[in-house]
Amino acid sequence: MIKSAPPFQLTPEQQQILLCMARDAIEQWVTNGRIPHYQSDDPALAQASGVFVTLRRRENGDMALRGCIGRVEAPESLLDLVPEMAVKAASNDPRFPPVVASELPSLHIEISVLSSLQRLADVHEIEVGVHGLLIEAHGRRGLLLPEVPTHHGWNRADFLEGICLKAGLPPDAWQEPETRLYTFTTFSFEEEIRN
């Protein structure tokens, strides 16, 4: 069995601080091209962990992906990494043009704090909707967060193919002996959906 690291936990107040920082960082970057430096005495926010920031935009009642960028493992604190990844999700996701000021009111922010990576020995241990996947093979690397397969209605086999395609590999590359697969869990939280 996969020994998942204990899930990273943050209080609702700590979650709100990080969400507000992420939003402020994006707004500051869009309006003046700078990312502010944030400070806090809270030791939980000083912890180092991998983080992904996902941006969605309300369109005709739906929440469409607008950007998602993160770092799997990082020496930086959440206090430093969350604003940086928020701005990168808004400006550097190659699938989308940079966010502009007119989009700010319709943006919705989700933050995922990652557990440590666990090397996967048996693909049957993957729990769809619980585990995220990271693949490394042939000099390529790809990552999918745990919510991706549930969002698409994927089963385990679809998830394995999906992670290969995300890395630019053939869909069956996960079966090759030199391929390395890792699982992780996330502690995810998001802004309240505003009308």
CB 133 within 8 A of CB 163: yes
pLDDT of the residue at 194: 63
**What are the tens digits of pLDDT across the range 144-181?**
999 999 989 999 999 999 999 999 999 999 999 999 99
Rg over alpha carbons for the chain, rounded to the nearest Å, is 17
**What are the tens digits of pLDDT across the range 69-119?**
999 888 889 999 999 999 999 999 999 999 999 999 999 999 999 998 999
Domain 118-184, classified CATH 3.20.20.60, yes or no: no
**Alpha-carbon gap, residue 159 to 109, rounded angstroms:** 24
**What are the tens digits of pLDDT across the range 28-64?**
999 999 999 999 999 999 999 999 999 999 887 788 9
> What is the pTM assigned to this prediction?
0.86
CA 191 from centre of chain: 15
Hey, do 12-114 and 118-184 end up sharing a CATH topology, with the first three levels equal?
Answer: no
CB 82 within 8 A of CB 19: no
3-state secondary structure of 87: helix
pLDDT of the residue at 1: 47
pLDDT of the residue at 9: 83
Q: Domain coordinates of the chain in residue numbers?
A: 12-114, 118-184
**Alpha-carbon gap, residue 147 to 29, rounded angstroms:** 28
12-114: CATH architecture: 2-Layer Sandwich (3.30)
